[in-house]
Structure 1
Amino acid sequence: MSREKLRQTFGEDAELYDRVRPTYPPELFDDLARLVGDHPKVLEIGPGTGQATAAMVARGWPVTAVELSGDLATVLQRKFPEIEVIVADFDTWDLPVGAFDLVISATAFHWLDPATRVQRCVDVLRPGGALAVVSTHHVAGGSEQYFVDVQDCYERFTDDPAEGGLPSADDVPEDSAGLGASGVFGAVEFRRYVRDLDYSAGEYVELLSSYSGHRALTTKQRDGLYDCVRALIEEGGGSVTKCYLNQLSVGISLNQPLA
């Protein structure tokens, strides 16, 4: 399934997405504040239902959010009535040039057009602004034996053994968004955050159901895969621990000194 179609799948069940998608480490926003200042005017691209938005609202940052899915945007606006929510495709949105201090995209930047995404973000920044990209990576750790054993479930029921062969956090390269190679920033800063989250069998199957690749499976594939995953977790004690790596990449404009 194409990038265009896959990125449309997240809004198919907005309440599920809101319920199961993890938020981000608080220290990520502490580091971001040190880099961009205490009260930036923010444009958030692809906020979903506010997994990153919540931390910025809690800090009192004024946020404008551009969300592709109308259903996700409805949940987002209900949760955060104080922010401006715009339903639009950022790739074709009529840009408000020079309007923001910070553009941030959390686990959504890779869905934007790679040919134009960096420059379009730069275009909406005020002089001295910054682009922050948060990526999420599934890495080795947590319930390690489960992630070995679940490979069989993926081989039996899908064409892509996505859960197997997870890299270590140290093996994930910096700057997956390519900010440093773009040549438009005076400096690019990187931060990494590793954490474990625990799930019951039911919670973990719901989490999988929020991923675009899983939603793209046929009903038969999904049912077989989820039954296999659920049984494996129950046999292993009823819970699974998943290890996440969040990486923060911040491109700082040429005339912006580091805070």
Structure 2
Amino acid sequence: MGAGTGKGTDLLRRLGAPVTCLEPDPRMAALLAARHPGIRVLGTTFEQWRPPAGGVPLLAAALAWHWLDPATRNRHAHDALTPGGTLAVLGHTYGYADPEHGRALDAVFRSADPTAPRRRPDWFLHDITGSGLFADVTTTTRLRDMPFTTDRYLDLVRTFGPFRRRTPDEQTRGLTALRHTVDGFGGSLIVRLHTTLVLARRPRGAGEGTTLTGT
């Protein structure tokens, strides 16, 4: 789901099973197909995709769950899985090792887009469990500190969905403000990457309730 250019696909191919990727953007789909010639690439959205009869054993969304229709994504994922099949959702939240850096950058982002939603790092865990459709939900989280120069940080921001939805003028103003801010830190900062993996299973039969474990 939302395979992009195939970074998450690298991991799935190691399972040794056939992989089908959904990517509606034709440019990214072309890069994905060129990078992984052995996989099947469908230029469609998750909402438009119709799974094969009997469902699939595994559905994976890496940094893409937020792009799916919140009103239908859990139901469509449940119905697309075989009984006992697994939903795997991976997401990142970007924080900062220095709280002062975090507050300064948050002020810049808020100034550029005051209405942008603020999600918890594990928001999709609550989305999936809240649907009541899955059993044996497990969650694993990892923290990693990564050094960024100003230019590398701006390249990262350019990949964010909220940034890409802004007009070109708004993007330019935002990047200028961010550059000024990070340069004020001495031209570098430590990004604290919070990664969460959620695994959930489609129940095999009636009566299986939602259970949750985490690490």
Shorter-chain TM-score tier? 0.7 to 0.9
> C-alpha separation between the residues in 2 aligned to 1:218 and 1:253?
40
The answer for the alignment partner of 2:163 in structure 1 is: 214
> C-alpha separation between the residues in 1 aligned to 2:113 and 2:78?
38
Over 3 Å counting, the alpha-carbon distance change for 1:97 and 1:134 in structure 2 is farther
Shift of 1:175: 4.8
- Map 1:74-85 → 2, pairs under 5 A: 74-85=30-41
The answer for the alignment partner of 1:142 in structure 2 is: 97
The reply to whether residue 250 of structure 1 matches residue 199 of structure 2 is yes
1:239 is aligned, of 176, 179, 188, to 188
2:114 is aligned, of 152, 160, 165, to 160
The answer for the alignment partner of 2:51 in structure 1 is: 95
Shift of 1:105: 0.9
Over 3 Å counting, the alpha-carbon distance change for 1:195 and 1:97 in structure 2 is farther
Q: For residue 178 of structure 1, give the secondary structure of its aligned residue in structure 2.
A: helix
Q: For residue 234 of structure 1, give the secondary structure of its aligned residue in structure 2.
A: helix
Over 3 Å counting, the alpha-carbon distance change for 1:113 and 1:98 in structure 2 is same
Stretch deviating more after TM superposition (108-117 or 79-88): 108-117
1:126 is aligned, of 49, 63, 82, to 82
Q: What's the Cα RMSD here?
A: 2.6
Contact 1:128 1:254 (C-alpha < 8 Å) held by counterparts: yes
> C-alpha separation between the residues in 2 aligned to 1:121 and 1:234?
44
Q: For residue 68 of structure 1, give the secondary structure of its aligned residue in structure 2.
A: coil
Structure holding more strand per residue: 2
Shift of 1:87: 0.5
The answer for the alignment partner of 2:137 in structure 1 is: 188
Contact 2:78 2:134 (C-alpha < 8 Å) held by counterparts: no
Q: How many residues align?
A: 205
Name the TM-score, length of structure 1 as normaliser: 0.69
> C-alpha separation between the residues in 2 aligned to 1:95 and 1:177?
25
Contact 1:133 1:177 (C-alpha < 8 Å) held by counterparts: no
Q: For residue 150 of structure 1, give the secondary structure of its aligned residue in structure 2.
A: helix
> C-alpha separation between the residues in 2 aligned to 1:159 and 1:182?
29
The residue identity in structure 1 corresponding to 2:169 is K
> C-alpha separation between the residues in 2 aligned to 1:128 and 1:227?
49
The answer for the alignment partner of 1:51 in structure 2 is: 7
Contact 1:47 1:65 (C-alpha < 8 Å) held by counterparts: yes
The answer for the alignment partner of 1:34 in structure 2 is: none
Shift of 1:49: 1.1
> C-alpha separation between the residues in 1 aligned to 2:73 and 2:53?
14
Q: For residue 89 of structure 1, give the secondary structure of its aligned residue in structure 2.
A: coil
Q: For residue 7 of structure 2, give the secondary structure of its aligned residue in structure 1.
A: coil
What is the percentage of aligned positions where both structures have the same residue?
27
The answer for the alignment partner of 1:228 in structure 2 is: 177
Name the TM-score, length of structure 2 as normaliser: 0.82
The residue identity in structure 1 corresponding to 2:2 is G
Task: Point out where structure 1 has 5 or more consecutive residues left out of the alignment.
Answer: 1-44
Over 3 Å counting, the alpha-carbon distance change for 1:56 and 1:94 in structure 2 is closer
The residue identity in structure 1 corresponding to 2:70 is P
